[in-house]
């Protein structure tokens, strides 16, 4: 059933199933590709950019590459451009999403912003204003919505063994975030500094000393409940500021969250976002030994079984899988692939079957409104900026289609859903 045209993408629940509605009022599922760009990825070790070199030999200009790539994507059942795609590709009438990096953070190191300080609010406002107005996003009928971050650090992950509560505790005493967190703990511990010391392995005599302290490294197991409560309050502060900031410049397009790391995201953070986003975005990858499913039972993070259903249950919002992918071994080589922890399939057939199973499962859920495959082209053999060198692509670095894998993706994208 077609809705009355609204001029922008919306989301609604129909007969217990969530669907996206495009600007013309037509329901759709966002079937997207990530990182489809003619710019490729540079190898710092060699200075080369294999994919870009191939594209420049094959096409007279980026617009020609974009037109041909969009044609291939449609033939494979895609209708959307996920994040990190060339702007030329966005001009090819594909639905798309935008990134607004509102926080002053570093993805590689996990450096965390102070969400309680005025500088964060001002920075977020400037990024939203300049990006939304500069690119004309507010009036873009093909734009699905905004992610205000990507794979942000919340709990322990490869960047730190601790949650960001420890970062806030180790801020200087004059930082608003430190003052807020100590205030939260005073409330939760009912001003009992001795119990706080016991839980957080400290020897303070006053809360003033706790505010000045910058040697927080450990906590007892008993402190976990209060840590999660404070982490949830930090997250709620972030999501509230993010929502208010984006809505100041675009009241209509969807708020898509921050592309959570699926099995590494604490439940309290996911719960905190529910009141401030329209769709929850999650980056989800299969891990060795099934750790993406087993890990949450050990760490207390969001459980990822049943096709990420717990993200929907904790928020009441629909789900868009903003990244997922499967890498394949290159025959005849002994290359060690980065990042570690991901399975490396021995053939395009085996990774294609894995993708088919996952997409079919998502399509069968009532809460999934899209999936975006990572990524268009293989990563460079000698590694990109962070060393990743995996063959995730639908095409190789010479821009040649991995035909067997592509056939499975085409089949998966064509699997019927009840929209």
Q: Tell me the DSSP string of 310-349.
A: HHHHHHSS-EEEEEE--EEPPTT--PPPSSTTS-EESSHH
Q: Is the pLDDT of residue 324 over 80?
A: yes
Per-residue pLDDT reduced to its tens digit, 353-386: 999 999 999 999 999 999 999 999 999 887 787 7
pLDDT at 182: 99
Angle 370-383-96 from CA coordinates, rounded to 5°: 25
With beta carbons less than 8 A apart as the criterion, state whether 113 and 104 touch.
Answer: yes
pLDDT at 178: 99
Per-residue pLDDT reduced to its tens digit, 96-139: 999 999 999 999 899 999 999 999 999 999 999 999 999 999 99
CA atoms within 13 A on the CB side of 16: 2
pLDDT bin (cut points 50, 70, 90) of residue 419 is very low
Domain ranges of the chain: 29-160+243-414
Q: How far apart are the first and last CA of the chain?
A: 9
pTM of the full structure:
0.94
| The pair of three-digit structure tokens given for residue 136, joined into one six-digit string | 């004309």
Q: Are strands 143-147 and 254-255 parallel, antiparallel or unpaired?
A: parallel
Please tell me the CATH superfamily of domain 29-160+243-414, with its number: Glycosidases (3.20.20.80)
3-state secondary structure of 212: helix
Percent of the chain with pLDDT over 90: 84
User: If you write DSSP's letter for every residue of 73-127 in order, what string do you get?
Assistant: HHHTT--EE-TT--HHHHTTS-EEEEE---S--BTTTTB---TTSHHHHHHHHHH
Mean residue pLDDT of the chain comes to 94
CA–CA gap between residue 80 and residue 102 (Å, rounded): 23
Q: Is the pLDDT of residue 273 over 90?
A: yes
Q: Which residue has the tokens 């939260």?
A: 184
**Mutual orientation of helices 403-413 and 348-363 as an angle, nearest 10°?**
10
Per-residue pLDDT reduced to its tens digit, 174-186: 999 999 999 999 9
With beta carbons less than 8 A apart as the criterion, state whether 112 and 105 touch.
Answer: yes
> 198 pairs with which residues across the strands?
none
């Amino acid at each position: 059933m077609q809705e009355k045209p609204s001029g922008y993408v919306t989301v609604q629940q129909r007969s217990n199933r969530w669907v996206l509605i495009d600007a013309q009022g037509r329901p759709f599922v966002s079937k997207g590709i990530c990182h489809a760009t003619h710019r490729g990825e540079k190898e710092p070790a060699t200075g080369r950019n294999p994919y870009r070199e191939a594209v420049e030999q094959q096409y007279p200009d980026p617009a020609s590459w974009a037109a041909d790539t969009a044609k291939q994507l449609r033939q494979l059942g895609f209708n959307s451009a996920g994040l990190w795609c060339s702007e030329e590709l966005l001009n090819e009438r594909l639905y798309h999403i935008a990134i607004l990096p509102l926080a002053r953070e570093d993805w590689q190191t996990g450096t965390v912003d102070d969400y309680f300080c005025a500088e964060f609010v001002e920075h977020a406002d400037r990024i939203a204003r300049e990006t939304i107005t500069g690119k004309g996003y507010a009036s873009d009928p093909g734009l699905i919505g905004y992610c205000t971050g990507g794979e942000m650090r919340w709990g322990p992950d490869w960047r730190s063994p601790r949650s960001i509560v420890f970062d806030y505790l180790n801020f200087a005493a004059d930082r608003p975030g430190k003052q807020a967190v100590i205030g939260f703990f005073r409330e939760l511990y009912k001003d009992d500094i001795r119990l706080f010391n016991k839980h957080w392995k400290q020897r303070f005599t006053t809360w003033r000393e706790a505010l000045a302290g910058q040697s927080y490294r450990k906590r007892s197991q008993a402190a976990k409940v209060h840590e999660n409560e404070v982490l949830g309050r930090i997250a709620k502060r972030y999501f509230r500021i993010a929502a208010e900031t984006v809505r100041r410049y675009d009241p209509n397009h969807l708020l898509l969250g921050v592309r959570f790391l699926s099995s590494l995201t604490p439940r309290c953070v996911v719960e905190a976002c529910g009141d401030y986003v329209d769709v929850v975005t999650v980056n989800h990858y299969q891990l060795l030994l099934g750790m993406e499913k087993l890990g949450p039972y050990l760490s207390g993070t969001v459980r990822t079984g049943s096709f990420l259903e717990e993200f929907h249950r904790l928020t009441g919002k629909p789900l868009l899988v903003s990244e997922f992918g499967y890498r394949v071994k290159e025959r005849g080589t002994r290359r060690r692939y980065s990042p570690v922890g991901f399975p490396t399939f021995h053939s395009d057939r085996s990774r294609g079957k894995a993708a088919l199973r996952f997409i079919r499962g998502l399509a069968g859920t009532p809460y999934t409104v899209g999936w975006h495959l990572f990524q268009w082209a293989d990563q460079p053999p000698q590694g990109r900026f962070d060393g990743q060198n995996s063959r995730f692509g639908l095409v190789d670095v010479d821009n040649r289609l991995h035909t067997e894998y592509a056939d499975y993706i085409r089949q998966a994208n064509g699997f019927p859903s009840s929209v």
